[in-house]
Amino acid sequence: MAVNRYSLYPASFVHGGGTLSLIQINAATADPGSQMDEIIPGGLVDRQAVIMATARPSCTFSTADLATVLGTVSPTAGLNCTGACKLHYQQRADQGVFSGGSNNIQIAATKGFLMPSRITASGSGQATCDLMFYPLYDGTNFPLIATNGVSLSSAPTPAYNSVFYQGPVYVNSAQIEGLISVSVDLGLRYSTILPDGYVFATQGSIVARTPTISLTFLKADMVATNIGSMFIGSLAGTIAVYFARGVAGGTRVANATTSHCKISAATGALGPGSVSVTGEDDATVTVTVWPTAALAVSVASAIP
């Protein structure tokens, strides 16, 4: 029985300033996004034709390398990809490791839009950044093209670059202690159009930015002391969420070093999503922050 197995491999995105290479990805998915019309003429019960009405393809990626992603891809404006964008799958070898040579798969787009969608961290686990890529139709080629028998000699080489972990959260200069998990939804809503009867989208734009920051604390009393209501309150100042950079062969980069990740918002509203406890566990409270201005993101920040 012949079974071909494939592993993850780096992806690359050509843009106006060069090429972004995701050399440290954790997951990747390519979805053609096809919408099919099934034709069943009146008087029959079986479909007689299947026609692809439209397709809105997308690719998703996950990486712990926040330094690479946030150093190139704007968390508020995304990245306009103007040239070849490539996702690779590397063939595994039977009774070996990898096959090598021209035995791999490539899924490519000639243009598209890349944006970060969410950054999360919990406990002692690695922080991860999820990204969305929207392939666009260039007028000639399919938005996604799969090719077998590809060599990886010109593809980026997988390597370790950076890993970050959950750090503290501050409002102004005061740390809010007891944080056990954080999720930052960057809130970019990207909308594509299908003019003139096109099957594939030719253009797209960011039509809204509605970021949210969700923080879970072992500090249920903060509902009354920090928020003041079970429903809604105003952010008391700039909120800053930190992700601490890890050290290979060590633990974390020193707080005073400007190589950590900081996500901040100057104004907004906040409210508790839930106060919950199960059995003998500790009560937790999840607080959601709704910024009323664009988030500021840095991967060259010190932690107070």
Give SS3 for 237: coil
Task: Please report, for residues 11, 82, 114, 155, the alpha-carbon distance to residue 87 in angstroms, rounded to integers and kept in the order given.
Answer: 5, 16, 13, 9
Q: Is the pLDDT of residue 232 over 80?
A: no
DSSP-derived letter for residue 93 is P
Contact yes or no for 240/173 (Cβ under 8 A) = no
Q: Which of 113, 91, 86 is nearest to 11 (CA)?
A: 86
CA gap 144, 107 in Å, rounded: 6
Contact yes or no for 159/248 (Cβ under 8 A) = no
**How large is the average pLDDT for residues 149-178?**
94
Confidence at residue 180, expressed as pLDDT on a 0 to 100 scale:
92
Task: Please report, for residues 170, 196, 214, 290, the alpha-carbon distance to residue 231 in angstroms, rounded to integers and kept in the order given.
Answer: 21, 47, 15, 13
Pairwise pLDDT comparison (232 vs 255), residue with the higher score: 255
**How large is the average pLDDT for residues 94-107?**
93
**How large is the average pLDDT for residues 82-93?**
94
Q: Which of 111, 104, 127 is nearest to 57 (CA)?
A: 111
Q: Is the pLDDT of residue 2 over 80?
A: no
Confidence at residue 276, expressed as pLDDT on a 0 to 100 scale:
73
Which of 4-8, 109-113, 188-192, 282-286 has the least mean pLDDT? 282-286
CA gap 139, 118 in Å, rounded: 31
Q: What is the mean pLDDT of the chain?
A: 92
**How large is the average pLDDT for residues 120-148?**
95
Q: Is the pLDDT of residue 94 over 60?
A: yes
Which of 77-81, 137-141, 164-168 has the least mean pLDDT? 137-141
Q: Which of 60, 22, 300, 298 is nearest to 161 (CA)?
A: 22
Q: Is the pLDDT of residue 244 over 70?
A: yes
Confidence at residue 226, expressed as pLDDT on a 0 to 100 scale:
60
- List the alpha helices (DSSP H) in 84-230: 222
Confidence at residue 231, expressed as pLDDT on a 0 to 100 scale:
43
CA gap 14, 82 in Å, rounded: 6
Domain boundaries, the chain: 6-33+51-301
What distance lies between CA 180 and its chain's CA centroid?
21
- Condensed to tens digits (0 to 9), the pLDDT of residues 29-49 reads 999 999 999 999 999 999 999
- Condensed to tens digits (0 to 9), the pLDDT of residues 204-227 reads 999 999 999 999 988 767 666 666
Q: Is the pLDDT of residue 230 over 50?
A: no
Give SS3 for 226: helix
Q: Is the pLDDT of residue 5 over 60?
A: yes
Rg over alpha carbons for the chain, rounded to the nearest Å, is 23
Burial 241-258 (b: 16+ CB within 10 A, else e): bbbbbbeeeeeebeeeee
**How large is the average pLDDT for residues 107-132?**
96
